[in-house]
Each structure stands twice: as structure tokens, then as C-alpha cells.
A and B are shown apart, each in its own frame.
Chain A
Amino acid sequence: EAQVTQNPRYLITVTGKKLTVTCSQNMNHEYMSWYRQDPGLGLRQIYYSMNVEVTDKGDVPEGYKVSRKEKRNFPLILESPSPNQTSLYFCASSNRDRSTEAFFGQGTRLTVV
């Protein structure tokens, strides 16, 4: 089954404790991206990647890191989480054609206390 898989689904952590949210896709998509969803603000892009070892900042990259060492994986790293990073996060993938559907993961609800 074609899918984007994120883990974990829910995470509660403390300020400053490094965490990683994993994202994996099995559709051989070139393009992968991370979004955060906050009430009234929609889906805001954090980082995106068109290829292995190529990553670009989205609209809200501060406080986040990503890596793309393999085509299928695109982890999101919070080196020192802060409460303002409490949000719902989605990973998505699509192929290299920009006129194409984005497939989303199940989402990760992160709470930083």
C-alpha cells in the first residue's frame, strides 16, 4: 500500500530535550516536506527536499533541522524544543512534477512543556 508513515503519532516532551520525528514513504517520491498546522494559520512549510542531500528552508524553519540521506526518509529534528513548537506536524511527499498530489502522513501531535 502506497503510504507516508510518521512516528510517533503523539509526543510530550520537556523544553530543551532533543527529539526526532521520523517520516518514510514507499512511493519513490523525489519531493518530501514538513509542515506544521496551527489553528487559524493553516499548513506552514518548515523544510522541503527535492532530492537526496538537498534540503531547503520553508516559511518557518527556525528551531528545526532535517536531513535527506536516503530517498525514502526525511526526519525532522528539534535540537532544543521550546513550547512555541507545540503543534501538529505533517510530513508529505510527491513526485518531482510540481503539478502533482501531495500525500500526507498521519500527523504527529507534539507538546513541549
Chain B
Amino acid sequence: GENVEQHPSTLSVQEGDSAVIKCTYSDSASNYFPWYKQELGKRPQLIIDIRSNVGEKKDQRIAVTLNKTAKHFSLHITETQPEDSAVYFCAATTWVTSGTYKYIFGTGTRLKVLA
């Protein structure tokens, strides 16, 4: 079946450094790639997303890049802060049958920002 692979599973960075999380997807027809942040004990929440007709998107310290040919996309966080510590999930949506779709999530990356 379709899947999304995410690496690394854990990532520790010093405060102020950059963090990069990478995902690959299998369905070439996927066209939407969101990233969710889940703080401890909370629900996942969207932080940024990108559609297949765009190669890069940036929102302040967060950016996402997409390489459709290689079927991979990445989350970049610059100038990391302690409040960036959380679990991050990538996802891709894929059509199942006409009119319905599935959200497929990666296995998550636990980011720790060390003060």
C-alpha cells in the first residue's frame, strides 16, 4: 500500500541551530503534503503545508520544500527555540477511489531543542 517514510525518528539540536526533517512518499499522485506539530499531551496541529504545484513555502522560521521527481519533502526550522520541542509528523494525501482520499502520516520525529 501507499506509505510515507519519515527520518530521523529523534533529533536533538542546540538552541539557535537549524533542524531538518525529511519524508518520502510512494504515491506519485499525492498532491498535498502537510506538517503537523504535536506538543506533549496535545493534539496534532498543522504548522505548514505545501501543494504539488509549489516547490517551496516559507512561514517565518519554518519552511517546507518539495521534490516531486524524487518524491520527497522536508521541513526546515531555523533559529530553533525551546518551544519548538515537540513531535513532528509529515503526511500526504492520496486518492483511494473517485471522490475519497486517505491521509497517510509518517511515523513522527521527536525534536528536542537544548537550551
Contact = CB atoms under 8 A, between A and B. Distances in A.
Interface of A: 31, 33, 35, 40-45, 48, 50, 54, 56, 58-59, 90, 92, 94, 96, 98-102, 104-107
B9 to A, nearest CB: 7
Nearest to B101: A98
Given A42-B6, A98-B95, A107 B1 contact: no
Nearest to A42: B107
A101 B44 contact: no
Interface string B88-111: 010101111001111111111000
28 contacts: A31-B101, A40-B9, A40-B107, A41-B107, A42-B89, A42-B106, A42-B107, A43-B89, A43-B105, A43-B108, A44-B105, A45-B102, A48-B100, A48-B103, A50-B99, A50-B101, A58-B102, A92-B103, A94-B103, A98-B93, A98-B95, A98-B101, A99-B32, A101-B34, A101-B46, A104-B44, A104-B45, A106-B43
Contacts of A59: 1
Interface centre among A42, A48, A92 (most CB of B within 10 A): A42
A104 B32 contact: no
Interface residues of B, number: 29
The 7 closest A-B pairs by CB, nearest first: A42-B107, A98-B101, A99-B32, A104-B43, A43-B105, A50-B100, A98-B93
B45 A99 contact: no
Interface of B: 1, 6, 9, 31-32, 34, 36, 43-46, 49, 51, 89, 91, 93-96, 99-108
Nearest to B107: A42
Contacts of A100: 32
Nearest to B43: A104
Given A98-B94, A99-B51, 17 more contacts: A31-B101, A41-B107, A42-B105, A43-B44, A44-B105, A45-B102, A48-B100, A50-B99, A50-B101, A56-B96, A59-B1, A90-B44, A96-B99, A102-B36, A104-B43, A104-B45, A107-B43
